[in-house]
Amino acid sequence: MKNTKPIEKNAKVVNKYLKTKLKGNPKMLYDAAGHLIVNGGKRLRPYMVIKSCEILGGKKSNAMPAASAVEMVHNFTLVHDDIMDNDEMRHGVPTVHKKFGMPVAILAGDVLFSKAYQIISDSKLNPAATNQLITRLAKACVDVCEGQLFDIKMAEEKRIPTQSEYINMIGKKLQLYLMYRVLWEQFVLQTKQKIFQIFLHLEEI
């Protein structure tokens, strides 16, 4: 059996951090925004961000804003995806729009999206690193939206998509899985240019 304790331990730390950022008024809005977060998820995206940071010699505390931002954007996509698909359950609980209603769910998704950028902007990283993180996250969000519409259109068409069309679509939708790369710029700006170049080379292989 594989050892999942590090992932589970990391998930608890990330969940605690996320809860501190998803508080405010009206309470219902933040309850809706945090609904899927408190009811499941392995936090693999934050785990990859944090581990990438540590590999390059950084601290977990420095990576937490970016790690949490990625998770918030991921949950934003889940909320809106459930609305588009009219799904009723996720993580074994009612979807956000089924529990809180459509208008609140849309706003909850918007809050998650906005909070992601707020967390990075309010972090103690240097301005250049913050700019790199925001730029990468914004590009990933655009790719996810494009990929989602490609997916919808493929489902509507009678023909089977080509291999290249499918790979392009799924590649865009999986951008948030690859957001651990945003930490590379952050730490090359502060520490290890050579290690950064090695990672870029490996990414292209």
The pLDDT value recorded for residue 190 is 52
Backbone phi and psi for residue 197, each to the nearest 5 degrees, phi listed first: -65, -35
Q: What is the pLDDT of residue 200?
A: 46
pLDDT in tens, the chain (205 residues): 466 788 888 888 888 999 999 999 999 999 999 999 989 778 888 888 888 777 777 778 878 888 888 899 999 999 999 999 999 999 899 999 999 999 999 999 999 999 999 998 888 777 877 887 888 888 888 998 999 899 999 989 989 999 999 999 988 887 766 655 555 445 444 544 444 444 444 444 4
**Chain centre distance of CA 100:** 22
DSSP, res 158: S
Rounded to an integer, what distance in angstroms lies between the CA atom of residue 26 and that of residue 28?
A: 6
Q: Which long-range contacts (CB under 8 A, 24 or more apart) does 127-134 make?
A: 128/189, 129/185, 129/186, 129/189, 129/190, 132/182, 132/185, 132/186, 132/189, 133/65, 133/66, 133/69, 133/182, 133/185, 133/186
pLDDT attached to residue 27:
95
Q: Go through the domains of the chain in sequence order and give each one's CATH number.
A: 5-126+177-199 (1.10.600.10)
Q: Which two tokens stand for residue 43?
A: 């936090």
Distance of CA 99 to the CA centre of its chain: 23
Residue 181: how many other CB atoms lie within 10 Å: 16
Angle at 111 between CA 129 and CA 137, to 5 degrees: 30
So what's the pLDDT on residue 115?
95
| Cβ contacts of 7 within 8 Å, gap of 6 or more | 42, 43, 44, 47
Predicted TM-score of the model (pTM): 0.81
